[in-house]
Amino acid sequence: MRKSSKLTNHPVEALDGAIQSFTAFVRSLPAAEMEPSSRESWGPREVLIHLVFWHEQYARIASAMARDKKPFLLKGSARALNDAAVAREINVPIDELLKRWTRAHERFSAVARSHRASEIRMPLRVGGKAWPVADLIRIAAGHIRRHHAKLQNRRRFFEIRTKAWR
């Protein structure tokens, strides 16, 4: 039987890669594109806020559970929590958001790589499903990649459209 390289890598490595790729994308954008979106749909700033918010939640909950503490869970729908986070953080500088994401990821990764990770089932909000850490890592990595691809595709669409009008 052939060994897959994916089987030898820790699941956190996929999450590391998704975060690094999204961070590089954000840093590559002109400052004007990182301004708050004037459209109803989220732009790069709002998506970054959303991703940082949830990663900070993952880190906080995982850290508490790894210490056998009951984590404080947020109440509300995912949409309401996302909207509140974006409204609250909309004017936070991009560099600060990226630093917070890095710190949260370091904390979450430390738990995910620990011997306790297989024992932890993480609910993300009151009444929410409790996820095994490994599953949550895969879900988070895919979530980041989907947001990244959507923003890249939207950016390409507007570039093509802008060139057509010149």
| pTM of structure | 0.88
| Tens digit of each residue's pLDDT, the chain (166 residues) | 444 444 447 889 999 999 999 999 999 999 999 999 877 789 999 999 999 999 999 999 999 999 999 999 999 999 999 999 999 999 999 999 999 999 999 999 999 999 889 999 999 999 999 999 999 999 999 999 999 999 999 887 665 444 444 4
The helix (run of H) or strand (run of E) holding residue 12 is: helix 11-28
Domains in the chain: ranges and CATH: 10-165 (1.20.120.450)
How confident is the model at residue 84, as a pLDDT? 97
Q: How far apart are CA 123 and CA 133, in angstroms?
A: 10
Q: How far is CA 71 from the centre of its chain?
A: 19
73-87 burial, b at 16+ Cβ within 10 Å, e below that, comes to bbeeeeeebbeebbe
Q: Can you tell me whether residue 4 is helix, strand or coil?
A: coil
List beta partners, residue 121.
132
Give the other-Cβ count within 10 Å of 97's Cβ.
20
Rg (CA), the chain: 17
Q: What is the pLDDT of residue 5?
A: 45
DSSP string, 73-139: -B-S-HHHHHHHHHHHHTTS-HHHHHHHHHHHHHHHHHHHTSTTGGG-EEE-BTTPPEEEHHHHHHH
Find residue 14's DSSP bridge partners: none
Best CA proximity match to 25, nearest among 2, 51, 59: 51
Q: How many CA atoms lie within 13 A of 114 on its CB side?
A: 16
In the numeric block, the tokens 């630093």 are attached to 99
Residue 159 has what pLDDT?
59
